[in-house]
Amino acid sequence: MKLSPALEKRYTGEHFTAPDAQRLAEFIAWGPVVFQVSRLMMKFGILDMLRDAEEGLTREEVAKKAQLSDYAVKCLLEASLSIGTVLINPETEKYAISKTGWFLLTDPATQVNIDFNHNVNYQGWFYLEESLRNGKPEGLKHFGPWPTIYEGLSSLPEQVQRSWFGFDHFYSDSAFPEALEIIFREHQTRSLYDVGGNTGEWALQCVTFDKDVEVTILDLPQQIRMMQQNIADKPGAERIKGYSINLLDETMSFPTCKDGIDAIWMSQFLDCFSMPQIVSILRRAKAAMTANTRLYIMETLWDRQRYEPAAFCLTMTSLYFTALANGNSKMYNTTDLQQCITEAGLGIEKIYDGLGQGHCIIEVKNKK
Ligand SMILES: C[S@@+](CC[C@H](N)C(=O)[O-])C[C@H]1O[C@@H](n2cnc3c(N)ncnc32)[C@H](O)[C@@H]1O
């Protein structure tokens, strides 16, 4: 396995002192409450008020502003001191926000991750053990009886749905502007299949960017309905079509395109499937490809990340797939996807790195 320089440095040898390692072990042991306290410090507006108070605030001032009891504020502030999101001046007993608290409050990725983890994953991860053993998303059961989260997306409670889409869009949207340049500037793309096109965000950007392209979104029937509502009346919507398909059904083929499809786009899509399922989907994509079709796979390959925190978020996200999404997929690394692409009879032309929040685009050609 070839790791990016940042990961090579961090993942191949010990780099903690013994006290740091011991502290991290306790941090893990208390992980659930560290998460909940920090989330509530934001929800109750305490981190906000500490950031805005230049001289810091006493516990009494925090309690008054947050309209919480002295007991509640005492518990939260003392725990936050240990977590490292606030600091105290022992002379004045005033609290201030720390550097970590500031990131928690202002880093948009952290916000999206906290929402996603609380609203979508938190309860489900209690069933991680069963999910890993059974290869099924056992943590999904408390939301509904679907075999995977994708069948249930359109029926999830509003708050859960908002956090799921917030997470999904935050990551892929950040890469779309550079991706459009790659797809439309380097080649003429008149027809494009957007596989797993979800709410149609990418398709809308394509039809705005290129005045001629026709996009067909392939997705589950429930998502195609949501997509149609989402794109209605938006500019270029008449050039976006929906094609309902369950790609887990191996008998289902990609649609045919009269003059051969120019490009097939799969963004944050293959991570929803196990490696054998990916091979099956890619084989069916191959059957729809001519020698000129380009297949673009946009993924956040964890081994290629320039910054270690990004790889951390990705390897943790894999466990959302385990316990909540489908029980058998993950955030893959380059070797995994390379293996699937080769097994499907396709070949990698080029890999573009460093798009958006750490995305890569693998450009694939048909090796007929
Ligand atoms: C993680 S979302 C990615 C959405 C979008 N492409 C993006 O980049 O933000 C995965 C998409 O794949 C679709 N999907 C999952 N399982 C599917 C299946 N068995 N057949 C067809 N589409 C599926 C989901 O409905 C969802 O729209």
Residues 137, 169: one domain? yes
Residues 118, 88: one domain? no
Assigned domain for 74 exists: yes
Residue 354's Cβ-side half-sphere holds a number of Cα atoms within 13 Å equal to 3
Atom 8 of ligand 1: nearest residue by CA position: 267
CB 302 within 8 A of CB 314: yes
List phi, psi (to 5°) of 57.
-135, 145
What is the average pLDDT score of the chain?
Answer: 96
Residues 175, 229: one domain? yes
* Each residue's pLDDT tens digit, 218-234: 999 999 999 999 999 99
| CB within 8 Å of 305: residues ≥ 6 apart | 4, 6, 7, 311, 314, 358
Residues 251, 264: one domain? yes
CB 298 within 8 A of CB 359: yes
CATH assignment of the domain containing 190: 3.40.50.150
Assigned domain for 5 exists: no
pLDDT of res. 368: 63
Residues 257, 214: one domain? yes
pLDDT of res. 257: 86
pLDDT of res. 71: 98
Assigned domain for 1 exists: no
pLDDT of res. 357: 86
* Each residue's pLDDT tens digit, 259-276: 899 999 999 999 999 999
Q: Among the three residues 88, 106, 124, which one is the final residue of a domain in this structure?
A: 106
Assigned domain for 184 exists: yes
Rounded distance, CA 232 to CA 234, Å?
Answer: 6
Q: Among the three residues 39, 73, 106, which one is the final residue of a domain in this structure?
A: 106
C-alpha of residue 219 to centroid of ligand 1, in Å:
6
Which DSSP helix (H) or strand (E) runs through 86? strand 86-89
Atom 21 of ligand 1: nearest residue by CA position: 219
Assigned domain for 225 exists: yes
Atom 13 of ligand 1: nearest residue by CA position: 196
Assigned domain for 295 exists: yes
Q: In this structure, what DSSP letter does residue 349 have?
A: E
C-alpha of residue 211 to centroid of ligand 1, in Å:
25
For ligand 1, which residues put their CB under 6 angstroms from it? 150, 168, 172, 196-198, 219-220, 223, 245-248, 267-269, 272
CATH assignment of the domain containing 21: 1.10.10.10
Residues 99, 162: one domain? no
Among the listed ranges 136-140, 183-187, 221-225, which one has the minimum average pLDDT value?
183-187
Quick one: average pLDDT of 151-175? 93
* Each residue's pLDDT tens digit, 66-82: 999 999 999 999 999 99
Region of 231 please: left (phi>0), alpha (psi -120 to 50) or beta.
Answer: alpha
Q: Among the three residues 67, 85, 106, which one is the final residue of a domain in this structure?
A: 106
Assigned domain for 165 exists: yes
Q: In this structure, what DSSP letter does residue 200 have?
A: S
Residues 272, 129: one domain? yes
Alpha carbon distance, N-terminus to C-terminus of the chain: 28
C-alpha of residue 206 to centroid of ligand 1, in Å:
18
C-alpha of residue 196 to centroid of ligand 1, in Å:
4
Rounded to the nearest 10 degrees, how much is the dihedral formed by the CA atoms of 43, 201, 288, 346?
-50
- Position in ligand 1 atom list of the atom nearest CA 247: 20
Residues 211, 319: one domain? yes
Q: Where in the sequence is the domain holding 90, given as residue range(s)?
A: 12-106
Report the number of distinct structural domains present in the chain.
2
Of 272, 332, 359, the residue with max ligand 1 atoms within 8 A of its CB, to mutate for a pocket test, comes to 272
Quick one: average pLDDT of 197-223? 97
Residues 169, 82: one domain? no
Residues 148, 231: one domain? yes
* Each residue's pLDDT tens digit, 88-99: 999 999 999 999
Residues 66, 49: one domain? yes
pLDDT of res. 367: 77
- Is the pLDDT at 215 greater than 90? The verdict is yes
C-alpha of residue 198 to centroid of ligand 1, in Å:
6
Residues 26, 80: one domain? yes
* Each residue's pLDDT tens digit, 141-159: 999 999 999 999 999 999 9
Assigned domain for 262 exists: yes
